[in-house]
C-alpha cells in the first residue's frame, strides 16, 4: 500500500496478530458459552491504524473493508462505545477519521478484527485524553468480542473462562509461519456442532508444553474444510504445526526466523502467508 501525503504524516498504531498455541474446551456454562483454556501468543506482524482527531463528533473510516458495513466494523463499534462511555464525557463532541492498513486475513482465527478494536480503544483513550484504565478498556472490549481484552492488556497470556481470564506469561521466542487456507471458517458454526469435544481436562500453565496440548476444534474443522486439512498436513512435514482458534489459519513453529522463511518459500504459488516472531509484550505498547 502506498501512503498519500496525509497518511505519511500520521502516527501509525500497530494492531498485531495472535495465535492460539492450543485450545482446550473444558465444558459449558449454564448460559451456553464454552469453558476454555488457551495460550495466546502475540506476534510482531499485523495491521496498522492511524487516527485524525477532529471536532465533528463523527466516527468515520477512510478505508472501508470490502463486504463489511461501517456499522458492523469493530473499529467503528469500538470508537463509538468509547465515545459513549459514562467516564468519557469529554469525547462526546470529539470525532476521528480512521485509516487502516489491512494485512491480516478476515476469518483466519488470528484476531484481526479484535486487534483492530483494541488498538482503536487504546489509541483513542490517549488521543482523546480520557485516561481510562486498561481494566475499563478491557470491559468495553469484551462487549465487542472475547479476544479483544488480550490485545488491550498487551501481553502473551494463558487464558481461561471464555477467554477473558488472562494470566500474563513469558514464553521463549519462536518464529511462526502462518498460512491462510482459501476458506472462511465460522466460529459460531464450529461451536454449535454436537460432535465438538467439550470434556478436555484442565491444565496448569506450569504443565504446558506444545506437545502435550492440542486444539479441540482442529479435527472437526479439518473434516469440514479440506483446504485446512491439506495445508496443515503439508506444514507438518516441516515443523510442529497446528490450527489456531477455530481456523482457518494454521501455523508452524520454528526455532529460527530464517528456517520459517525457508519453508515459506516452498509454499505453493499464490498461497497467503506471513512469517512473524512471537512477542511477550504487544508491539502496540513497545512502539509507544
Please tell me the predicted confidence (pLDDT) of residue 91.
81
Among 47, 147, 174, 216, which one carries the catalytic annotation?
Answer: 147
Asked whether residue 120 falls in the same domain as residue 253, the answer is no
- The percentage of residues in the chain with a pLDDT greater than 90, rounded to a whole number, is 82
Asked whether residue 232 falls in the same domain as residue 111, the answer is no
Residue with cell 458495513: 69
Q: Residue 5 — pLDDT band, cuts 50, 70, 90?
A: low
Q: Which of 168, 203, 228 is the last residue of a domain?
A: 168
Asked whether residue 51 falls in the same domain as residue 152, the answer is yes
Q: Is residue 192 part of a domain?
A: yes
Q: Is residue 288 part of a domain?
A: no
The verdict on whether 147 is a catalytic residue reads yes
Q: Is residue 215 part of a domain?
A: yes
Asked whether residue 73 falls in the same domain as residue 179, the answer is no
- If you average pLDDT over every residue of the chain, what do you get? 94
Q: Domain span at residue 92?
A: 7-168
> Any idea what the CATH number is for the domain that residue 46 is in?
3.30.230.10
Asked whether residue 95 falls in the same domain as residue 210, the answer is no
The lowest-confidence range among 183-187, 196-200, 209-213, 265-269 is 183-187
Comparing CA positions, the residue from 74, 86, 83 lying closest to residue 55 is: 83
Asked whether residue 148 falls in the same domain as residue 189, the answer is no
- Report the number of distinct structural domains present in the chain: 2
Among 18, 77, 155, 174, which one carries the catalytic annotation?
Answer: 18
Please tell me the predicted confidence (pLDDT) of residue 6.
63
Asked whether residue 150 falls in the same domain as residue 44, the answer is yes
Asked whether residue 89 falls in the same domain as residue 184, the answer is no
Amino acid at each position: 500500500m502506498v501512503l498519500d501525503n496525509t497518511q505519511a504524516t500520521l502516527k501509525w498504531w500497530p494492531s498485531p496478530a495472535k495465535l492460539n498455541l492450543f485450545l482446550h474446551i473444558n465444558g459449558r456454562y449454564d448460559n451456553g458459552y464454552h469453558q476454555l483454556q488457551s495460550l495466546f501468543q502475540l506476534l510482531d506482524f499485523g495491521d496498522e491504524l492511524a487516527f485524525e482527531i477532529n471536532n465533528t463528533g463523527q466516527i468515520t473510516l477512510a478505508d472501508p473493508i470490502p463486504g463489511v458495513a461501517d456499522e458492523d466494523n469493530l473499529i467503528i463499534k469500538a470508537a463509538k462505545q468509547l465515545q459513549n462511555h459514562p467516564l468519557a464525557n469529554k469525547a462526546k463532541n470529539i470525532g476521528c477519521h480512521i485509516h487502516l492498513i489491512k494485512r491480516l486475513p478476515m476469518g483466519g482465527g488470528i484476531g484481526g478484527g479484535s486487534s483492530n478494536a483494541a488498538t482503536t480503544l487504546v489509541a483513542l483513550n490517549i488521543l482523546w485524553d480520557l485516561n481510562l484504565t486498561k481494566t475499563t478498556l478491557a470491559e468495553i472490549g469484551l462487549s465487542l468480542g472475547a479476544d479483544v481484552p488480550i490485545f488491550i492488556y498487551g501481553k502473551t497470556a494463558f487464558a481461561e473462562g471464555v477467554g477473558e481470564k488472562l494470566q500474563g506469561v513469558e514464553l521463549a521466542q519462536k518464529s511462526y509461519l502462518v498460512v491462510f487456507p482459501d476458506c472462511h471458517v465460522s466460529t459460531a458454526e464450529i461451536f454449535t456442532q454436537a460432535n465438538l469435544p467439550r470434556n478436555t481436562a484442565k491444565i496448569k500453565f506450569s504443565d504446558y508444553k506444545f506437545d502435550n496440548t492440542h486444539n479441540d476444534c482442529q479435527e472437526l474443522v479439518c473434516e469440514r474444510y479440506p483446504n485446512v486439512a491439506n495445508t496443515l498436513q503439508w506444514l507438518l512435514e516441516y515443523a510442529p504445526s497446528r490450527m489456531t482458534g477455530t481456523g482457518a489459519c494454521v501455523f508452524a513453529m520454528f526455532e529460527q526466523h530464517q528456517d520459517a522463511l525457508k519453508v515459506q518459500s516452498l509454499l505453493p504459488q499464490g498461497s497467503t502467508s506471513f512469517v512473524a516472531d512471537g512477542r511477550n509484550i504487544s508491539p502496540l505498547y513497545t512502539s509507544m
